[in-house]
């Protein structure tokens, strides 16, 4: 089973990733920054980023919904919004090579965070855990996350567990002041016995892991 404990409400997050044609990335970003206000008029955008390291010509965006009925209503409204369809969707679709979406919940012990200031970089870490869900690996995974938080070098933004998409997937978003600050912090953490012990305990339940360094777009609420 993949479904496990989550927040005690209907709120969920739709995670969208788009692969953009390499020659069209600049144009895509310009279009998003110019017209995304037409989309955010209908539901809340958490963040919108492009990949700098770990992936290329890829964007990530996260949308918050109160429940599935809310998402259905928003999608219906957008499909009939002539300005959104004409100014953004029609011109942008030819720039996109592939689209993917997932539905995820914040884990119950995590609240969506914000960076202490604008600027900096975001790290999107995807963990593919062994089948069994949080009932199997939730406690040790939380301990590993807390061990990194306690080092003080990085800021946790959110921990999301998938409900639709590839199951037993956990996405963790971190904020760091700079790439060099992140590198120095990671080096120090790898020499911290508490971090090493917590990570060693959690990797027993890990199948794979991928890290992507993200830069927020101008229109992103998380900057």
Q: How confident is the model at residue 2 (pLDDT cuts 50, 70, 90)?
A: very low
Mean pLDDT, all residues of the chain:
93
Do 126 and 86 lie in a common domain?
no
> How many domains, in total, are found in the chain?
2
CATH number at residue 198: 3.30.70.100
Residue 94 per-residue DSSP state: G
Q: Is residue 191 part of a domain?
A: yes
Please check the confidence at residue 21 and state whether its pLDDT lies above 90: yes
> What confidence score (pLDDT) does residue 143 get?
94
Q: Residue 52 in contact with residue 215, Cβ under 8 Å? A: yes
Q: Which of 167, 221, 163, 170 is nearest to 12 (CA)?
A: 163
Q: What is the pLDDT of residues 92-149, one digit of tens each?
A: 999 999 999 999 999 999 999 999 999 999 999 999 999 988 888 999 999 999 999 9
Q: Is residue 5 part of a domain?
A: no
Q: How confident is the model at residue 1 (pLDDT cuts 50, 70, 90)?
A: very low
Average pLDDT over residues 66-76: 98
Q: Residue 127 in contact with residue 169, Cβ under 8 Å? A: yes
Please check the confidence at residue 202 and state whether its pLDDT lies above 50: yes
Burial class from Cβ neighbours inside 10 Å (0-12, 13-18, 19+) for residue 17 reads: middle
What domain range includes position 182?
106-216
């Amino acid at each position: 089973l993949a479904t496990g404990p989550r927040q005690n409400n209907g709120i969920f997050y739709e995670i969208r990733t788009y692969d953009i044609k390499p020659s069209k990335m600049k144009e895509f970003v310009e279009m998003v920054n110019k017209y995304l206000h037409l989309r955010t008029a209908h539901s809340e955008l958490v963040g919108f980023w492009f990949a700098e390291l770990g992936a290329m010509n890829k964007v990530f965006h996260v949308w918050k919904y109160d429940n599935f009925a809310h998402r259905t209503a928003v999608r219906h409204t957008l499909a009939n919004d002539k300005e959104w369809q004409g100014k953004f969707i029609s011109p942008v679709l030819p720039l996109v090579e592939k689209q993917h979406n997932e539905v995820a919940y914040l884990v119950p012990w995590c609240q969506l965070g914000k960076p202490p200031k604008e600027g900096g970089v975001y790290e999107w870490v995807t963990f593919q855990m062994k089948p069994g869900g949080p009932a199997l690996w939730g406690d040790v995974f939380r301990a590993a996350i807390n061990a990194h938080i306690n080092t003080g070098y990085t800021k946790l933004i959110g921990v999301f567990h998938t409900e639709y998409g590839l199951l037993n997937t956990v996405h963790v978003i971190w904020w760091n002041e700079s790439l060099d600050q992140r590198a120095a912090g990671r080096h120090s953490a790898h020499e911290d016995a508490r971090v090493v012990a917590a990570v060693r305990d959690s990797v027993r339940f890990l199948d794979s892991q991928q890290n992507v360094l993200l830069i927020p777009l101008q229109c992103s609420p998380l900057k």
